[in-house]
Structure 1
Amino acid sequence: MQYLRNLKDSISTLPKVGPSATKCYSEMGIFTFSDLLSLSPRAWEDRSMIHALGELEDGMTANTLVEVVAHSYFGPKFSNKRTLKILVKDVSQKGYGRLSLVCFGRNFLEKTLKVGHIYYLYGTVSRHMGELQCSQFEMTPATEDGDFPDSFGKILPIYPLKGTLSQRIIRRDVLAILSKVDRFEEELPLSIRTKHSLLSFDEALRIWHFPPSLSSHDHARKTLAFSELFYLQLVARRRNVSLARGTSQGPSTPTKLELKFIEDLPFPLTADQMTVLKEIRKDLDSEQAMNRLLQGDVGSGKTLVAWISSLHVLSTGAQVAFMAPTELLSRQHAESAARLLEPLGIRIAFLTGSVKGKERKLLLQAIAKGNVDIIIGTHALFSKEVSFKNLRYVIIDEQHRFGVEQRLALLQKAEVPDLLLMTATPIPRTLSLTVFGNLNVSTIRTMPPQRVPIVTHLVSEGSRERMYKAISVEFKRGHQAYFVYPRIDDTGESNLRDVTNMFEFLKEHYPQVPSALIHSKLDEEEKMAILKNYQEGKLQYLVSTSVVEVGIDIPNATCMVIEHADRFGLSALHQLRGRVGRSHLQSYCFLVFGNDLTDDAKQRLKVMKESNDGFYIAEQDLVIRGPGEITGTRQSGFLRLHYASLSEDLDLIEQARKEADRILLTDPAFLTEDNSVIRRTLSESSPFEEENQEVF
């Protein structure tokens, strides 16, 4: 018996697979026997019943025996561009009717398909000027006694193709590999297969490629998808082992410091913020260290929750580290924390790579002595020179922008740290149940009161002037705007607008409106000075790259213009749009696009036009891009799902998760006879490379 993943023979060792086919396979990411058997058909052809020519209507499929009656040509006389037409008649047991095979670019078939010979025909027909025709067809010689060949009477898979590969070649090669394996190893316990009415792995894989009926491949897919999802869950949730503090921190109730802070706020917390705070507080007070992801849409109030939960930890005399991916964002957080928390006596420090010399030395000493309560910064927080007296709580904002090693480097500066990861890119539920299965997930869905939904306009080149006029109206109302472009200057692709040239253009278009140019090549002090002027209303618009994507909160900004919006991903578009609509003022987002849109770009713009809901947008992003692109695991070997769909198989994911949790709770070492199949599979052919799975 053999595990599918252990079939490492090169595809080039198969009979009749030469250099050309090997190259085409490699372009599809197929190098081994295992790779080819993991290639899922995109559809199946039903050749199980005769469909004679005489009973076909336009768009139906012929599946019958025919005899070649005559050859003819049409097109300009005395030209080498004439097209062969082959007239055939039905000779099956249902046989009646005639059909013209139109052989565009295949005049060589005159020598191959001979008059008077019988062939098996499969192809979709159409009616043209009263004549039944077919231009896309497959013809196979009949047997010596004029009967159907082996390819009739079956359900045949339709695979993705590349180069010179044909369906016939791939089917031949798949069958060749399947015939080499007596039986594939089972991967699921018998109890699970029985409970969920699943096939054996061997049966499911063979049926998946060559099903005996169209209904049977659904059963095969369910089996293969369940197995895939089960191991994805199992491996992810095995890592869900929190460090133990040894003793509980006491009842999970708000401290006096928290209550005072909440009471002094000029607005009430939303219901979701209150719920999330309770979840975090319970984790902070438990015997196990917290490992939680806080997700919420742009502007939902995640950072405020982080500050309040910090107060809970600070009441124990511990320290808090708050890490953000950019100096611009971390500085914004530091200013926010100072404004909100310093009146309570909380000592705030800001540490980035730009803090140098004596100031840096004194700051590091203060952190090490415990004279700083909350340390806010960038990657500088996990550098070797930074040490804490009593770090207990680590908060990481925009967590997907940090690598696993970077997060671990900061966590290792504490004995038993509580970890809160925050993201404004909501995680689709299917991903939270799988890739993020080792995290507890808290969600803020409700937005602060009085927020008005942003109106999104799709702007073609022909509508550009109307957009500029609409923004001019907003300027007259005293409101502010952002103009975002994908690059800094005009070097490279000359057809893309850039911030440098467009800044000059906009200054001429709005001559009396104060503005500034901001991008990543400016030093941090200059960027902060510009943002301060913008925040104070001294500037009415910024011309920027996507550097303004996160961390900027200007309630008076009501217009966001994103040029070449088709070049941005859904997550970036939603983040950028979230820079406006942060008050009671009606805000607008203008997505400007060019003429040559890809299908994916059209889908993204349509989603942005339809919805302001970050959770819906995240789900659509999963459908459009796929899970690997979203989680950054496309190249890691993790989440290469062949049979399951994270956008459509929610019920199956739930079932697989429950089974994985049950086994990890009752038999974590897989010692029972029933679960020994899991132990053997993980040991001999793990479905996911565990060293690559730190993806959250």
Structure 2
Amino acid sequence: MEFLRNLQRPITTLSGVGPAAKTSYAEMGITTFSDLLLLSPRTWEDRSRVHPLGSTQDNQMANTLVEVLSHSYFGMRTGKKRTLKIMVRDVSGQGDGRLSLLCFGRNFLEKTIQIGRIYYLYGTVSRHHGELQCSQFELYPATEDGDFPRQFGKILPIYPLRGSLSQRLIRKNIQEILKSVNHFHDELPESLQEKYQLLSTDEAIRSYHFPPTIELLNQARKTLAFTELFYLQLIVRRHKGLQQRLASQGPSIPTKLELHFMEQLPFSLTKDQMTSLKEIREDLDGELPMNRLLQGDVGSGKTLVAWISALHVLSHGAQVAFMAPTELLARQHAESAASLLGDLGIRLAFLTGSVKNKERRLLLKAIAEGQVDIIIGTHALFSAEVSFKNLAYVIIDEQHRFGVEQRLALTQKGTVPDVLLMTATPIPRTLSLTVFGNLNVSTLRTMPPGRKPVITHLVNEQSRRRMYQAVGVEFKRGHQAYFVYPRIDDSGQSDLRDVISMYDFLKQEYPDVPSELIHSKLDEEEKVTILKNYQAGKIGYLVSTSVVEVGIDIPNATCMIIEHAERFGLSALHQLRGRVGRSELQSYCFLVFSNELTDEAKQRLKVMKESNDGFYIAEQDLLIRGPGELTGTKQSGYLKLAYASLTDDLPLIEIAREEADLILTTDPGLLAPPLASIREVLRHAPPFTAEGSEA
């Protein structure tokens, strides 16, 4: 009896795995028998049934016996440019029909494929000029009695390849591993197998790689996917349940400082803001360090919640660090904090790489001696020279822009401080159930009263003139606009519009409207000056790159024009659109696209046109781009799901979550005899390490 994830023998002991194959396997993260069994086929070829030529539709697979009728050539009369054409007819007895095999680059088949012989054919057929043709095919001689060879009658797995690897080698190696294991331990209790009609682990893994039928393949995939998701949920929710039990202190109450600040606000907090503050406050007062994500759409008031929660910590005499991904955004947060908290006697400091020499030394000394309450900055906050007297709370804005190592470096500057991560890129529901399962999440869905949804227009080249006229109307109303381009200076290298050339064009288009150019190559102080003038209404429009994507709050800006919108991801498009619509004024977003669009680009633009809801957009982003791209897991190797799909298996995710919750509620120690299989898996071969299950 073996556990699926406990086969640690090196793949180099398998036949045919020499230095080249070893290197290619290693590039795919495969070094052991278990790694190879966890390699999921990208598809399967169904060769189990006859698909004769006569009943095969356009672009379908033919799987049949054929007789070779003739050889001929087309193209050039002589030389390498002529192409062999083999005419065959179906002799399977289940249909008829004729087919032309086009042997591009395979003229040598004239010598091996003999006229009059019977062959097994597998290939994709298509109809051209009234003729059934096939250029990608496999031909194997039939047996002496004219029957199908051994390749027929099987459902063959098709694996991802790398380097010198071939389908034949991978199949051979996996078969060798499966033959070496007498039986795999069951990883699920019998009750779950019966309840959801699942296979045993042994039958599932064997049927997944080499399924005898399509029905059994589907059942095997469901079994392995459910098993994987069940253990992910069990491990994550077991850890989270322990955290919640240890952190449970009963209700926490706001401090006098918090209450005084909220009473001075000229507006009331939304219901979601009040709920999030309560959740954060209870975490801050708990025994365990807080690990919470505050997610909310652009303009939902996350930063205000963060500042109020910081007052709770400051009331207890500790320090707070607030980190933003760019100096521009950090500076805006510092100015916001100064205007909101300055009258409360809160001591603020701003630290980025541009703070130099004596000023920097004095600032670092003040932070180390506890003379600063809130320190706001960029990644400079986790440099070795920065030390705190009593850092108890770390707030990280736009958390997805920082690496795990960077976040860890900052949190290690305090005695296990509480951490609040903020993002305006909402987590899709499927990811919140899995990737972020052990991270407490507070959500702001309610927008401040009076906000109107931004009206989004899709603009092709033919509609460009009408767009410029519509923006001109907004300028006459005294409103402001952003023009965003993907490049600073294209230098004539392509047809892309860029910031530099379009700045000159727009000055001709709107000669009486003051404008400025802003992009990443400008000096930081110059960018700050431009934005202050824009905020003060001295500038009618900005011509920019995506540097304005986050953190800029101009209530009078009502137009966002994004050129070459097909080149931006959904998250960036939504963030850029969020720069307008930040007041009671009706705002507009114009997504200008080229005439040549990929299917994915069309999907993104369609989603933006349909919805202003960041949560819906995040779900669609997951469907379009996949979980690896969305969470950065493709690069980091974080959340390695072998069998389950975060986009296709939402029902399984929810079932797995319910079953894990039920077991942990009734038997948190997993002590009951029917749960022995779970205990054994967690003890000997857990599907996810502690590191792999944390967000």
Bucket of the pairwise TM-score, normalised by the shorter protein: 0.7 to 0.9
Which residue pairs with 2:563 in the alignment?
563
* Partner Cα separation in structure 1 for residue 501 and residue 308 of structure 2: 44
Which residue pairs with 2:99 in the alignment?
100
**Structure 1 residue 357 displacement after superposition:** 4.3
Which residue pairs with 2:394 in the alignment?
394
Which residue pairs with 2:377 in the alignment?
377
| CA distances 1:37-76 after superposition (whole Å, capped 9, x unpaired) | 4443344444434455566676765544343345556678
Relative distance call for 1:362 and 1:123 in structure 2 (3 A) is closer
SS in 2 for 1:571: helix
* Partner Cα separation in structure 1 for residue 169 and residue 385 of structure 2: 61
The question of whether the paired residues in 1 share the 8 Å contact of 2:71 and 2:84 is answered with no
Between 164-173 and 314-323, the greater mean CA deviation after superposition: 164-173
* Partner Cα separation in structure 2 for residue 58 and residue 368 of structure 1: 73
Between 354-363 and 440-449, the greater mean CA deviation after superposition: 354-363
Relative distance call for 1:480 and 1:56 in structure 2 (3 A) is closer
SS in 2 for 1:305: helix
The question of whether the paired residues in 2 share the 8 Å contact of 1:245 and 1:289 is answered with no
Which residue pairs with 1:543 in the alignment?
543
Residue type matched to 1:103 in 2?
A: L
The question of whether the paired residues in 2 share the 8 Å contact of 1:225 and 1:644 is answered with yes
**Structure 1 residue 23 displacement after superposition:** 8.9
Equivalence map 1:411-422=2 (5 Å): 411-422=411-422
Tell me the percent identity.
70
**Structure 1 residue 391 displacement after superposition:** 3.3
Which residue pairs with 1:477 in the alignment?
477
Equivalence map 1:273-352=2 (5 Å): 273-352=273-352
Residue type matched to 1:97 in 2?
A: D
| CA distances 1:565-622 after superposition (whole Å, capped 9, x unpaired) | 2332221221111111111222222223335544333332232222221111111222
Q: Does 1:592 align with 2:592?
A: yes
Which residue pairs with 2:226 in the alignment?
226
| CA distances 1:108-154 after superposition (whole Å, capped 9, x unpaired) | 44443333322334455566777666555443322222222223333
Residue type matched to 1:84 in 2?
A: K
The question of whether the paired residues in 1 share the 8 Å contact of 2:68 and 2:86 is answered with no
Which residue pairs with 1:41 in the alignment?
41
**Structure 1 residue 526 displacement after superposition:** 1.9
Equivalence map 1:619-658=2 (5 Å): 619-658=619-658
Q: Does 1:117 align with 2:117?
A: yes
* Partner Cα separation in structure 2 for residue 676 and residue 491 of structure 1: 67
**Structure 1 residue 292 displacement after superposition:** 1.0
Which residue pairs with 2:272 in the alignment?
272
Q: Does 1:444 align with 2:444?
A: yes
| CA distances 1:475-534 after superposition (whole Å, capped 9, x unpaired) | 222111112223333469554433233323322332222111222233322221111100
**Structure 1 residue 557 displacement after superposition:** 0.8
The question of whether the paired residues in 2 share the 8 Å contact of 1:243 and 1:416 is answered with no
Which residue pairs with 2:87 in the alignment?
86
| CA distances 1:161-213 after superposition (whole Å, capped 9, x unpaired) | 78998766765565455445544555555665455443233321221122222
**Structure 1 residue 303 displacement after superposition:** 0.9
The question of whether the paired residues in 2 share the 8 Å contact of 1:157 and 1:210 is answered with yes
* Partner Cα separation in structure 1 for residue 522 and residue 269 of structure 2: 37
* Partner Cα separation in structure 2 for residue 565 and residue 132 of structure 1: 41
The question of whether the paired residues in 1 share the 8 Å contact of 2:330 and 2:377 is answered with yes
The question of whether the paired residues in 1 share the 8 Å contact of 2:232 and 2:693 is answered with no
| CA distances 1:204-228 after superposition (whole Å, capped 9, x unpaired) | 1221122222111121111221233
**Structure 1 residue 299 displacement after superposition:** 0.7
SS in 2 for 1:321: strand
| CA distances 1:394-422 after superposition (whole Å, capped 9, x unpaired) | 22111122232332333334335322111
Which residue pairs with 2:201 in the alignment?
201
Residue type matched to 1:528 in 2?
A: V
Residue type matched to 1:86 in 2?
A: M
* Partner Cα separation in structure 2 for residue 195 and residue 100 of structure 1: 49
Q: Which structure 1 residue ranges, 5 or more long, are not aligned?
A: none
Equivalence map 1:525-544=2 (5 Å): 525-544=525-544
The question of whether the paired residues in 2 share the 8 Å contact of 1:4 and 1:184 is answered with no
SS in 1 for 2:601: helix
Residue type matched to 2:508 in 1?
A: E
For the aligned residue pairs, the C-alpha RMSD in angstroms reads 3.8
* Partner Cα separation in structure 2 for residue 440 and residue 268 of structure 1: 25
Residue type matched to 2:213 in 1?
A: S
SS in 1 for 2:259: helix
Which residue pairs with 1:502 in the alignment?
502
Equivalence map 1:137-216=2 (5 Å): 137-159=137-159, 171=171, 174-184=174-184, 186-188=186-188, 193=193, 196-216=196-216
Residue type matched to 1:635 in 2?
A: Q
Equivalence map 1:119-138=2 (5 Å): 119-123=119-123, 136-138=136-138
Between 59-68 and 527-536, the greater mean CA deviation after superposition: 59-68
* Partner Cα separation in structure 1 for residue 496 and residue 164 of structure 2: 36
Residue type matched to 2:432 in 1?
A: S
Residue type matched to 2:102 in 1?
A: C
SS in 1 for 2:406: helix
Which residue pairs with 2:410 in the alignment?
410
* Partner Cα separation in structure 2 for residue 186 and residue 122 of structure 1: 37
Which residue pairs with 2:615 in the alignment?
615
**Structure 1 residue 656 displacement after superposition:** 3.3
* Partner Cα separation in structure 1 for residue 523 and residue 179 of structure 2: 64
* Partner Cα separation in structure 1 for residue 297 and residue 526 of structure 2: 29
The question of whether the paired residues in 2 share the 8 Å contact of 1:74 and 1:85 is answered with no
Residue type matched to 1:90 in 2?
A: V
The question of whether the paired residues in 1 share the 8 Å contact of 2:155 and 2:212 is answered with yes
* Partner Cα separation in structure 1 for residue 9 and residue 112 of structure 2: 38
Residue type matched to 1:606 in 2?
A: K
**Structure 1 residue 471 displacement after superposition:** 1.9
**Structure 1 residue 555 displacement after superposition:** 0.7
Between 428-437 and 31-40, the greater mean CA deviation after superposition: 31-40
Relative distance call for 1:5 and 1:468 in structure 2 (3 A) is farther
* Partner Cα separation in structure 2 for residue 207 and residue 478 of structure 1: 68
* Partner Cα separation in structure 1 for residue 54 and residue 232 of structure 2: 51
* Partner Cα separation in structure 1 for residue 259 and residue 248 of structure 2: 22
Residue type matched to 1:562 in 2?
A: I
| CA distances 1:629-655 after superposition (whole Å, capped 9, x unpaired) | 222232332223232111222232233
* Partner Cα separation in structure 1 for residue 654 and residue 427 of structure 2: 16
SS in 2 for 1:456: strand
Which residue pairs with 2:572 in the alignment?
572
Relative distance call for 1:104 and 1:312 in structure 2 (3 A) is same
Residue type matched to 1:505 in 2?
A: F
| CA distances 1:277-330 after superposition (whole Å, capped 9, x unpaired) | 222222233333322111001111111111222233333333332222222112
Residue type matched to 1:213 in 2?
A: T
Relative distance call for 1:682 and 1:504 in structure 2 (3 A) is farther
Q: How many residue pairs were aligned?
A: 692
Relative distance call for 1:144 and 1:20 in structure 2 (3 A) is farther
The question of whether the paired residues in 2 share the 8 Å contact of 1:291 and 1:439 is answered with yes
Q: Which structure 2 residue ranges, 5 or more long, are not aligned?
A: none
* Partner Cα separation in structure 1 for residue 492 and residue 176 of structure 2: 49
* Partner Cα separation in structure 1 for residue 432 and residue 269 of structure 2: 25
Residue type matched to 1:88 in 2?
A: R
**TM-score for both structures, normalised by structure 1:** 0.86
